[in-house]
Structures are given as structure tokens and as C-alpha cells.
Amino acid sequence: MQSRTFTFELPCPVEQLLTHARREADAHGITFTGDTQSGACSGHGFSGHYTASGTTLRVTVDQKPLFIPWAMIEKGARDYIDQTLRTLDMTTHQK
């Protein structure tokens, strides 16, 4: 299976989103390692990694369940980021 990378431009420093993502991952049994520049996560049949710089976040999904289409993965990532930013009272746009 080939990996896919999704790029997001955020209206805030990536650190704010990553802090929230780390708490959510811990609460849902997902392993999340890394810092504000790069890291990885895995759990529930998924694995991936990210790189971050300023307000740009690149998320690469390396492994996913075969029965879940890439379009659903992309929509889920975009929706998660948008929902998180709304929680942080901000908005985002995908490149």
C-alpha cells in the first residue's frame, strides 16, 4: 500500500493543534510521539507521521485498513483539524 500525504495551512502555530491532538490520542488509545517539528502516531490499524513548520502541517498516512478509502481518510483528517481549530476558536484551510 502506498502512503498519502495531506498538507494543511493553519491560522495558528502548529504547537496549539499538536497539544490538543496529543491529549486526544492518549484518551483514545493511540500512540503519539514527537515534538513540534515532527512525530508519529499509530493505533486502530493506522500509522503515520507528520512534519510541521510554522503554520504548515504535513500528515502522511503510512498504513490504513484496506476497506477504508483514501477519500474517507482525507475527509477525516480535514474534519478533525477543523473541529480542533473550532475548539481552539480558530479556522483553517487546506492547501
Tell me the DSSP string of 63-77.
E--TTS-HHHHHHHH
Residue 29 dihedral angles phi and psi, to the nearest 5°: 70, 30
Instruction: List, in sequence order, every residue forming a beta bridge with 8; answer none if it has no partner.
Output: 57, 94
Mean pLDDT of 5-13: 91
* pLDDT number for residue 75: 94
* pLDDT number for residue 90: 52
* H/E segment holding residue 38: strand 38-43
Residue 27, classified by CB atoms within 10 Å of its CB into exposed (0-12), middle (13-18) or buried (19+), is exposed
Q: In this predicted model, what pLDDT tens digit does every residue of 22-31 receive, in sequence order?
A: 888 899 999 9
Residue ranges and CATH numbers for the domains of the chain are 4-94 (3.30.310.80)
pLDDT over 60 (residue 13): yes
* pLDDT number for residue 93: 46
Q: In this predicted model, what pLDDT tens digit does every residue of 46-83 receive, in sequence order?
A: 999 999 998 999 999 999 999 999 999 999 989 988 88
- Strand, coil or helix: 47: strand
